[in-house]
Amino acid sequence: MLKVKNNLFSPTVLAGVFNFFLALVSSFFLTVFLKDYLHFSGGEIGILYAGASAATILSLFPVGIFNDRLTPRKLIILGLLLTALFYGGFLVFKSFLLILLIFILGGCGRALVDVSTDTLLQKTRKERDPGVYFGVFNLFRSLAIAFGFILGGILLFKFDFYLVFLLVTIVCLLLIFYARQLELTESTRFEAIHYGKDLLQPHILAFLLTIFIFALHWGAETTSYGLFLKENLSLNRVQMGLYMSVELFVLGFTAYFLGKRLDNKKTTFLRILMVGLLASGVGHIFMTYPQPYISVFFRGLHGFGDGAIFLFMYLGIAKFFKVERIGGSTGALSFVLSLGAITGALIFGPLGEKFGYNWPLIISGAGELVILLIVILAFRELIAMKPE
């Protein structure tokens, strides 16, 4: 039976509600808005997402450390406020430079909410079975995003983008009152050198390098995925929402299923990573087949792979890092993810506009298969190692 922590005010519930409403006008829908409403080029869209990722990168590690020194609850509240400013900004601004400014604010806000929520999740685990615990979190969050995609597609089909921006802005402000009730955690204080020593262990460097290369495909998705569905598959916004939801349903149930198998010792930490990379890469490549039903099948396969890798990442944090410094370590992992995303956005934004929106998806999917080869040939022992 699925159980969230016996507390209505939990990081799982917050992550679900927050991501549900953000999915109403997700980055995949937002690229369509930027192109069709504001008439930005592929290069400009790439710069916007790169700017948001750059802001995220600059704030992630400090945010992680502040999560150890302060309490995640305060940082979540600040992040919700900045996220509200991001979506509210689309109601006011039209010029590229002002939109870039709110993308930067939004990047900082998302970093604060995501890192702080993940930190709170790790710090309040209390020795529960890690596979099911993190699997339930990913299941709830993924289902919320999936239903958000569906509802977002319907809303954006029937109404204007600006009405949805207003709705999400209001919800982010209301969530501030919810976040005030989240659990308080003990604060700790460490110097930066302690975090550096944690991160420079060989098995952790292998873990982070694997995650970086994996995250490149996020840059392809943010700049090309929504436009691929619109231009290559000729889907309307309702169909886009339904299409995108399939991956999230599969992702969430995969994370829970594999987490339960891990706790029951029917699979291993490394096997979850390898199966995830294979499914994610193959699915990303063949989802570009120009027939919607075949394409969405492979997008579901990609979701199976991403579900495995999301579980791998949460387990990796719990496995490799010291709980008293888990905030800084979570910030470091998020830094690596964002660095991969910004690199991917800069590469794949112009590439998709010039050669077609299918090519960024194909190339980034092939990159995931390259990681799989590296894991098999070079990092198998390192990733399987236990920290000292």
Domains, the chain, in order of start with CATH, read 11-384 (1.20.1250.20)
Would you tell me how many other CB atoms lie within 10 Å of the CB of residue 203? 19
Q: How confident is the model at residue 348 (pLDDT cuts 50, 70, 90)?
A: confident
**Structure tokens given for 307:** 């579900």
Q: At what angle do helices 269-286 and 358-374 cross, to 10 degrees?
A: 150
Among 67, 170, 142, residue whose Cα is nearest residue 303: 142
- For 26-35, 63-72, 191-200, which range has the lowest pLDDT when averaged over its residues? 191-200
pLDDT digits (tens, 9 = 90+) for 77-108: 999 999 999 999 999 999 999 999 999 998 88
More confident of the two residues 291 and 335: 291
Distance CA 105, CA 111 (A): 10
Return the higher-pLDDT residue of 200 and 304: 304
Residue 29, pLDDT score = 77
Which of 99, 101, 103 lies closest to 111, judged by CA?
A: 103
pLDDT in tens, 285-304: 999 998 999 999 999 999 99
pLDDT at 6: 45
Gap between the Cα atoms of 264 and 171, Å rounded = 39
* Residue 151 in tokens: 């509802």
Contact 345, 323 (CB under 8 A): no
Query: In this structure, are residues 175 and 80 in contact, taking their beta carbons and an 8 Å threshold?
Result: yes
Q: If you average pLDDT over residues 168-197, what whole number do you get? A: 78
Confidence category of residue 324, pLDDT binned at 50, 70, 90 = low
> Would you tell me the crossing angle of helices 161-179 and 130-158 to the nearest 10 degrees?
150
User: Tell me, what's the pLDDT at 387?
Assistant: 39
pTM (2 d.p.): 0.79
CA–CA separation, 335 vs 212, rounded Å? 9
Mean pLDDT of the chain: 83
Which tokens go with 76? Answer: 């979540």
> Region 57-74: what's the mean pLDDT?
76
- 8 A C-beta contact, residue 76 and residue 117: yes
